[in-house]
Amino acid sequence: MSEEIVSDLEAAHDYRDQLLDRLNTDDPASYVLPIDRLDEAVDFIKGQYPGLDFKDADLKSKLAERSAAGMSRSESDMEELRSEVERVAKNIGYKLHGGVSAGVIHGPGVRAIQQKVMLTEASVIFMTRHLGTLIYRLAKLLARTLPQDVGADGSKSIIWALDEINEVLYADRQLQQDWDFFFMDYSIDPDCPSIGEARKVEHSDEAHLVFDLRESMEWFVLSHEYGHHIMQHSLDGVAGVQGEEYELAKGKECQADLIGAHICMALGVQNERGLNFNAMFNIGAVIILTALDCIMRGRSIMRSGSDDGFSDSSTHPPLDYRLGAISFMLRYIYKEEKPDATEEVQWALNFQNKAKDLIEYIWGHSKKYLHKCYLHGMRSE
């Protein structure tokens, strides 16, 4: 009898399930919405976005579909993200080798990881539920923070000027507190952070900005991990943080950032919802990388009381190094596809810088709150 041939992707699915059994500390089934709570879920979602005109039947149908499949929202979202990233990656010419099996870890940590499956060309990619929650909270906070300007023709544009953003923050004490709590939650307990309070997004423009920002950040995170897969990276041999091993790891992260930025830019144009400028110009990539860097600084504060001389001891390169790779990819793509669009390139790079400055500006205020908490005896786990 001939042995049954197992494909690389089938092996990856099996390995993914084994890893999830080991890594999950929460029961994934507990995050699946019961059929008898569909009406409650619809009312909650509509209450979060009162400025949008949801159709109850469509929303309930979507939720019922997930419930019947036994999938949580994060798992359903991951499947949609995986499908979109793979479609676009193939369109722009990247080889996906033996394929990718993607999943959501219902366990500790705020991270995304790629792991090569032994004896295959396939990979397993994971994103923790906590990272998905962080991205969603960050998108909502930014949508509530960024003022919008209405043009003479009725069109609206986001204002990234720090002085006007400062006016929004000073006028909304709750918003200031929500930013402080956001950075505190992920600094004080990196393994199992609080999910925060549910806050309404009152206006339709803000709601659409939430969706765009969330998409752009999630697309970059997943595309970055696909970058590791496309380059056939492995965790083997890069566990150290010194000398050649660190330099090798830093180079691999830079390669993944470049590919992730390329795929994300293409997703900004090639998606069903229409142009997503935050993805198209890699604004989302800059935001999530800067926010995660600030959170690492927050963890330093909650351990030692200071982030002076802070150094991320992981195998990831410094923030400026990674942001440099992202801006390089934007310049490269425009040089190849739109060589005469120099003004648009400068405009996009300017907005990348403003996005970084915005997160660091808000962090500069929130770190004072973290210092105060440390002085009152709060410590990181």
SS in 3 state form for 26-66? CCHHHHCCCHHHHHHHHHHHHHHCCCCCCCHHHHHHHHHHH
Q: How far is C-alpha 165 from the geometric centre of its chain's CA atoms?
A: 23
Q: Would you place residue 14 in the very low, low, confident or very high pLDDT band (cuts 50, 70, 90)?
A: very high
Dihedral sign for Cα atoms in the order 189, 193, 194, 198: positive
Report the DSSP pairing between strands 123-128 and 100-105.
parallel
Q: How far apart are CA 14 and CA 104, in angstroms?
A: 15
Identity (one letter) of the amino acid at 246?
Answer: Y
Orientation angle between helical segments 283-304 and 243-269, nearest 10 degrees = 140
What is the Cβ-side half-sphere exposure of residue 14, based on CA atoms within 13 angstroms?
9
- Phi, psi at 237, each rounded to 5°: 80, 5
- Counting residues of the chain whose pLDDT is more than 70, the rounded percentage is 92
First and final C-alpha spacing in the chain: 56
Q: By C-alpha distance, which of 129, 116, 135 is closest to 76? A: 129
Q: Would you place residue 296 in the very low, low, confident or very high pLDDT band (cuts 50, 70, 90)?
A: very high
Q: Would you place residue 144 in the very low, low, confident or very high pLDDT band (cuts 50, 70, 90)?
A: very high
- Counting residues of the chain whose pLDDT is more than 90, the rounded percentage is 69
Question: Which of 135-144, 189-198, 239-248, 339-348 is predicted least confidently?
Answer: 239-248
Name 98's Cβ contacts closer than 8 Å, sequence gap at least 6.
7, 8, 9, 12, 117, 120, 121, 122, 123
Identity (one letter) of the amino acid at 342?
Answer: T
3-state helix, strand, coil in the chain (%, to 5): 65, 5, 30
Q: By C-alpha distance, which of 176, 111, 171 is closest to 141? A: 176
Mean pLDDT, the chain, as a whole number?
90
Question: What average pLDDT does range 93-112 have in this prediction?
Answer: 95
Q: Would you place residue 310 in the very low, low, confident or very high pLDDT band (cuts 50, 70, 90)?
A: low
Orientation angle between helical segments 173-188 and 129-145, nearest 10 degrees = 160
Identity (one letter) of the amino acid at 303?
Answer: R
Q: How far apart are CA 67 and CA 52, in angstroms?
A: 24
DSSP three-state, residue 113: strand
* Predicted pLDDT at 69: 85
**pTM as predicted:** 0.93
User: What Cα–Cα distance (Å) separates residue 149 from each residue in 153, 170, 205, 214, 279?
Assistant: 11, 19, 11, 21, 21
- Residue 186 · residue 298 · CB < 8 Å: yes
Question: Which of 33-47, 162-176, 307-321 is predicted least confidently?
Answer: 307-321
Residues facing 128 on adjacent strands: 105
325 has a pLDDT exceeding 90: yes
Q: Would you place residue 154 in the very low, low, confident or very high pLDDT band (cuts 50, 70, 90)?
A: low
Q: Report the run of H or E that residue 224 belongs to, with start and end.
A: helix 204-230
Question: What average pLDDT does range 141-167 have in this prediction?
Answer: 85
Q: Which two tokens stand for residue 66?
A: 């997930």
Q: How far is C-alpha 380 from the geometric centre of its chain's CA atoms?
A: 23
DSSP letter string over 303-344? Answer: HHS--TT----SSSPPHHHHHHHHHHHHHHHHHHH-TT-HHH
3 has a pLDDT exceeding 60: no
Write out pLDDT tens, residues 206-246.
999 999 999 999 999 999 999 999 999 875 433 333 445 77
312 has a pLDDT exceeding 60: no
Name 74's Cβ contacts closer than 8 Å, sequence gap at least 6.
31, 104, 106, 129, 132
DSSP three-state, residue 164: helix
Q: How far apart are CA 122 and CA 116, in angstroms?
A: 6
47 has a pLDDT exceeding 80: yes
